[in-house]
Structure formats: C-alpha cells, structure tokens
C-alpha cells in the first residue's frame, strides 16, 4: 500500500493452510499442522470463541503463591477463574485420552438435506444441490453435491471447525433464485460444526419452496429428459422461486440474456393466493421447463409475431399441460407405490385421484387453451363413455417423444395432427381427426377463454 | 439508448408465456324434488364411500354441496356416482364410471357435467330438479 494513500488497518489476520499439507507429508510438515491447530485453538480462546470445547481442555494457572496448577474447566469455574487468567495446556501427556487433540486427523464434512413433501407426507432428499463447507465463516474450502437421499460428503480436510451452506442449483443446468434475479436461493448455516455433519429438514418456509423447485428442476434435467426423450431446456436456466407472490408462474420466452430477469418464475401461491401444495409446485415447475424445452426445440414458435395466436396458445399450453400431467402423476405414484392422490382442488372436486384429471371431465366449450389433448393421445380412457358431452377419445398409445416430434415446427392444430399420423405407426391413428375436433372447437371458442 | 431500454421492457412485458390458471370459484349445487313423493339421495366417491346423503321431501330442496372448481360442472364435490330412490324402491343411478353400464340414469339429463337441465338460481347457485315425470318413469333399482 503506497504511503500516500489514506488507509486504516481494521485487523491483522492470518489464515492457516493446513489442507495444503498432503496425507503422506514428512514429519516436519505434520508438526506444522500441530502448530496450526494450537494456534487456532489459542486464537479462539483469545476471542472467546472456544464454545463447548473449553470444557474438554485443561488449563495452567499460576496462583498467588507463584505455584503453577493444572485445572479442568470445572475447577476453574468453581474457583471463579476466567479464560484470560489461564493458559491452555497443549501438552498431550497431561490428557488421559490418547490422541486427545487429534491434530493430524483428517475428516470428511458431510450432511443430509431433506424436505417434507406435504402432498404425500413424506420426507424426500433434496437432490443435486450444492453443499459448501466454510472455514472462518466465509472461506469455502470444500464442495459436494447431494445425492437422491439428500446426502453429501466432501473430500477430507484437517480444518476442525466448519460452517455449512447449501445452494439450490445444479451446474450447468439451472440455478434457483431467491425470488429475484439478484440473489441465489441458499441455506447458509451460521453454527460452527466441530468435525460434525450437518443435517437439515425443511418443513416450512422459503427453503422448503427452494427445495421443491430444486427437486423438480433436477428431476426434469436429469431423469425426465432421458426417460421420455424430450427436449432438454437450455443450460444456465434461472428459476426465480416466489414465496409470497400470488399469481401465475411464467416462462419468459424472449427475455434478453443481459437483462437481470429470471427466465422462469415459480410462485408458491396461485392466483387465488392458495398454496399450490408440493405436487403443485412440482407440476408448475415442470410446466414452465417444458415451455423452455419447446422453445429450444422450435424457437420460432415463441416469436413475438405469434403473440395473440389462438393456435399457438393451444399448442404451447396443451403440450406443457400434458407433460405436467404425465410427469406429476409418474413422480408421485413412484414415491407412493401407486397410491398418490392429487391435492389440486379441481381434481378433488371432480373426484379424480390423478393430477390434472379434472381436465378430462370438461366439454370443449368449457375448456381454455390448457386442453387435455396430450393425455388423450396417450391414455386409453374415452371420457365420452363416462358422459356423452365429453370429448370422444378413441386414440391411445402415443408417447411424449412422438407427440413432441409431431409438434416441432407446427404453428397450427392441423399440422400437429397430421404429423402424428404421418410420422408414426399407431393402430388408433384413424381416430385422430375425431379426437382433434374438440381441440379445434376449443380454438374456435377462444372468446370463452 | 432510451429506445433500447424501452424496447427491452416491451419485449419482457409482451412475451411472457404464462401458466394462466383460471381462478377457482365456489358453486353451490343442490337438488330440488318437485315430484309428489319423498326422495332419498346418496352420493359416493370413487372408492364407494358414501359422502352425501339427504332425504328430500316433495317441493323441497336438498342440502347444498359446495363445488370448488374453475367453471360450473354440475355436481363436483368429489362425487363419482349418485343414487336417487323413491319410497317405492324405484329411482335412478347416475355415475361417471365407464365401468357402470347399467344405464339407470335419467334418459335426458345428468347431474354430472354442466348439463343444460341445471337451473341457475343466481349467486353461483345451481339446482338439479327431479320432476313428477321422473317419478313416473323411475326405474327398478338393483338390491
């Protein structure tokens, strides 16, 4: 620092670098580790940060007769002595427990992060999130990613006291934002852990929402895309998780990359300000990611020149609604051994146990652009046999990959139907025209939306 | 520069792909018995649990069930099937189950879906009317 620059020294700090010493280091370097350890312990004593460790240490105290006594913390407390009147006894021979200081022992910071899924009343691991291990409260020394059980374990360290934090993201795919583009969603632990693991279980609040979005996005990028062979959304997706806001979730198709706006917004509460439920948050995250995948598949579909097109609205929203329906039922039935019951009030009212089942109990002129056409192409339910005014559906057996491929580069309903018929072999394809009739009717009734 | 910022903001505002869920609405739905005989109504969910029961005297209305959904769609209320029975053991069974092939529902109306036979009483209240003709044409119900 040049002498002519005004400055003020706030503190003189020294950070030891014990982790740089290899496991098979020579004796001289291991002695250095011992020294670092003692130095750190003494620093904690001077700054009154020893916490519970002070009860395990022994101390040297010189009494009024000039005699040096060895005291335990309990002895010192009973005699009213404070830490600054004593010196820590670093002589290992004076401790009964062999290797008490364990100065050279490496350990692996670890932990388990879970979230309570209220829709199915189960504890689920937070998967694919990034755990960080901090020394001195801020210096990140280790990183690890949680597995499907929410468990993480970093490489080993000699740093004895650490703090943990969890970031809801999975590079390079997505990062969950804390309701605004400017802040990452995270859980930053403030407690110091002395060679201890970190266990968290989110049952309420913002972190629970972040965990739901994390699990949904991780599932989409890492399981769904491969299993169903559908388009993966772009990398570096920013998903803003809105805890308090009531309203629709959004996929912003034309956000300019340089603007500080997340491409996807997930709200915890819907337009009625009712909590969506954990299955609802999974469903809406999947829905918006499906838009993002559709945009990557067919960028022109999301051009501003198609804004206001009823065909475009039906194609984009019915596709996303269908993927949402299939995946939500798939995931939660897998978690409950097939006993999942949707918590969507619309499904409950309709007496449906399947997520999104209520959509197949509507007449065409009751529907909006969120039609159940994708479900109708897949399942073997003909809702018309349940009620004569519901759509006639004699089509079944298509899969998400076929339906997505047929959608590629289409700008109207007829194109989608024709591609399904021409690009695939399906025993029910002669009934496609009959099925798509209700979708065309919905489009023509767009004034009702 | 101002134009660029303005255009960027316009792009953001007009290019959202929303999940525009329609808001939930409450609908009160009830039966009215305009026949000359008392009517017993039982409602079941998809697991065959009875979740609705009412005895409706002639010229009276049943207790209401509140349907919470986006658009009026008849008797929601988690109902899957309804049994209407008069004191002569005749009546009707209406169901949303494809497996139910008994054809014991009313010939020209149904309490499920937004059937045109529902009468709107205003204030999001709807009524499904069982008429004297329904009593006259009632079907034999299985034991």
DSSP string, A67-80: -EEEEEHHHHHHTT
| pLDDT tens track for B106-119 | 999 999 999 999 99
Strands, E, within A184-328: which ranges?
186-188, 193-194, 198-202, 237-246, 250-252, 264-269
The verdict on B12 touching A (C-beta cutoff 8 Å) is yes
Is the confidence at residue B97, as pLDDT, over 50? yes
Q: How many residues does chain B have?
A: 143
Mean pLDDT over residues B6-17, rounded? 52
Contact A360, A400 (CB under 8 A): no
Contact B85, B141 (CB under 8 A): yes
pLDDT attached to residue A100? 66
Alpha carbon of B7: minimum distance to chain A alpha carbons (Å)? 11
Query: A365 burial class (0-12, 13-18, 19+ CB within 10 angstroms)?
Result: middle
For A223, A227, A324, A375, B64, the CA distances from A327, given in Å and listed in that order, are 11, 11, 5, 11, 36
Is the confidence at residue B21, as pLDDT, over 80? no
Token pair 């950070």 in the structure block, residue: A15
The verdict on B98 touching A (C-beta cutoff 8 Å) is yes
Element (H, E) at B52: strand B50-56
Q: How confident is the model at residue B8 (pLDDT cuts 50, 70, 90)?
A: low
Q: Name the nearest CA neighbour of B51 among B81, B85, B89.
A: B81
Contact A439, A415 (CB under 8 A): no
Q: Name the nearest CA neighbour of A325 among A364, A287, A368.
A: A287
Which of B18, B79, B96 lies closest to A386 in CB terms? B96
pLDDT attached to residue A172? 96
Q: Which residues of chain A have pLDDT under 50?
A: none
Between CA A103 and CA A107, with CA A104 as vertex, the angle to 5 degrees is 100
pLDDT attached to residue A98? 65
**CB environment A71-87: b (16+ within 10 A), e (fewer):** bebeebeeeebebeebe
Q: Tell me whether 0.90 is exceeded by the ipTM.
A: no
The verdict on A341 touching B (C-beta cutoff 8 Å) is no
Spatial distance between the Cα atoms of B54 and A179, rounded to a whole number of angstroms: 49
Which three-class secondary structure state does DSSP give residue A125? strand
Spatial distance between the Cα atoms of A161 and A139, rounded to a whole number of angstroms: 12
- Measured between beta carbons, the chain B residues lying within 8 angstroms of A238 are none
Instruction: Select the more confidently predicted residue: B11 or A298.
Output: A298
The verdict on A254 touching B (C-beta cutoff 8 Å) is yes
Question: Which chain A residue shows the shortest CA-CA distance from B80?
Answer: A351
Q: Reduced to 3 DSSP states, what percent helix, strand and coil does chain A have, rounded to the nearest 5?
A: 40, 20, 40
| Cross-chain residue pair B15–A302, CB shorter than 8 Å | yes
Residues 6+ apart with CB under 8 A from A359: A321, A325, A367, A370, A371, A372, A375
| Token pair of A136 as six digits | 């001195």
Contact A63, A69 (CB under 8 A): yes
Which of A272, A353, A381 lies closest to B24 in CB terms? A272
Q: How confident is the model at residue B3 (pLDDT cuts 50, 70, 90)?
A: low
Query: A127 burial class (0-12, 13-18, 19+ CB within 10 angstroms)?
Result: buried
Mean pLDDT over residues B69-77, rounded? 94
Between CA A163 and CA A165, with CA A164 as vertex, the angle to 5 degrees is 135
Q: What is the mean pLDDT of chain B?
A: 88
Chain A / chain B CB contacts < 8 angstroms: 109
Is the confidence at residue B101, as pLDDT, over 50? yes
pLDDT attached to residue A294? 96
pLDDT attached to residue B100? 73
Token pair 């918590």 in the structure block, residue: A343
pLDDT attached to residue A253? 81
pLDDT attached to residue A103? 61
pLDDT attached to residue B86? 96
| Cross-chain residue pair B68–A345, CB shorter than 8 Å | yes
pLDDT attached to residue B14? 47
């Amino acid at each position: 620092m040049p002498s002519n620059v005004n400055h003020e020294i706030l503190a003189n700090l020294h950070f030891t670098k014990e982790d740089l010493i290899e496991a098979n280091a020579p004796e001289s370097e291991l002695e250095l580790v011992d020294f670092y350890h003692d130095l750190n312990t003494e620093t904690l004593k001077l700054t009154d940060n020893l916490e519970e460790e002070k009860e395990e240490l022994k101390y040297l105290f010189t009494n009024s007769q000039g005699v040096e006594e060895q005291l335990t913390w309990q002895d010192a407390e009973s005699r009213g002595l404070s830490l600054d009147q004593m010196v820590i006894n670093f002589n290992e021979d004076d401790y009964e427990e062999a290797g008490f200081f364990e100065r050279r022992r490496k350990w692996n910071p670890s932990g388990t992060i879970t979230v309570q899924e209220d829709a199915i009343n189960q504890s689920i691991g937070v998967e694919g999130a990034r755990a960080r291990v901090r020394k001195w409260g801020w210096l990140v020394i280790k990183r690890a990613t949680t597995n499907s059980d929410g468990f993480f374990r970093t490489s080993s360290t000699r740093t004895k006291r650490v703090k943990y934090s969890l970031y809801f993201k999975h590079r390079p795919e997505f990062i969950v934002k804390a309701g605004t583009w400017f802040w990452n969603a995270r859980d930053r632990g403030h407690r110091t852990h002395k060679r201890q693991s970190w266990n968290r279980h989110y049952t309420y609040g913002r972190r629970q929402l972040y965990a739901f979005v994390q699990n949904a996005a991780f599932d989409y990028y890492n399981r769904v895309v491969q299993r169903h062979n559908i388009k993966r959304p772009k990398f570096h997706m920013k998903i803003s998780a809105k805890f308090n806001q009531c309203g629709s979730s959004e996929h912003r198709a034309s956000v300019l990359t340089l603007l500080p706006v997340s491409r996807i917004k997930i709200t915890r509460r819907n337009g009625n300000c009712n909590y969506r439920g954990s299955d609802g948050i999974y469903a809406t995250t999947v829905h918006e990611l499906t838009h993002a995948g559709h945009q990557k598949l067919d960028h022109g579909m999301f051009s501003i020149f198609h804004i206001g097109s009823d065909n475009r609205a039906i194609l984009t929203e019915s596709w996303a609604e269908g993927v949402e329906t299939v995946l939500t039922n798939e995931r939660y039935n897998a978690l409950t051994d097939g006993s999942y019951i949707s918590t969507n009030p619309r499904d409950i009212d309709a007496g449906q146990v399947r997520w999104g089942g209520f959509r197949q109990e509507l007449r065409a002129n009751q529907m909006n652009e969120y039609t159940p056409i994708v479900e109708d192409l897949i399942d073997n339910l003909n809702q018309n046999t349940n009620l004569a005014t519901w759509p006639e559906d004699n089509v079944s057996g298509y899969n998400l990959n076929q339906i997505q491929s047929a959608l590629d580069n289409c700008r109207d309903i007829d194109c989608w139907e024709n591609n399904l018929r021409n690009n695939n072999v399906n025993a029910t394809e002669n009934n496609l025209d009959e099925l798509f009739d209700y979708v065309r009717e919905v489009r023509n009734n767009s004034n009702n939306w | 520069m101002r134009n660029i910022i303005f255009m960027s903001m316009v792009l953001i505002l007009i290019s959202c792909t929303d999940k525009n869920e329609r808001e939930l609405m409450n609908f009160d739905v009830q039966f009215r018995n305009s026949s000359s005989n008392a009517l017993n109504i039982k409602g079941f969910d998809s697991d065959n649990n009875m979740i609705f029961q009412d005895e409706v005297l002639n010229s009276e209305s049943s207790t209401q069930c509140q349907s919470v959904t986006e658009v009026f769609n008849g008797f929601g209320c988690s109902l899957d099937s309804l049994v209407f029975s008069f004191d002569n053991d005749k009546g009707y069974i209406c169901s949303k189950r494809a497996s139910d092939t008994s054809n014991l529902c009313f010939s020209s109306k149904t309490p499920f879906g937004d059937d045109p036979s529902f009468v709107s009483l205003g204030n999001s209240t709807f009524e499904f009317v069982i008429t004297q003709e329904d009593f006259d044409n009632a079907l034999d119900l299985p034991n």
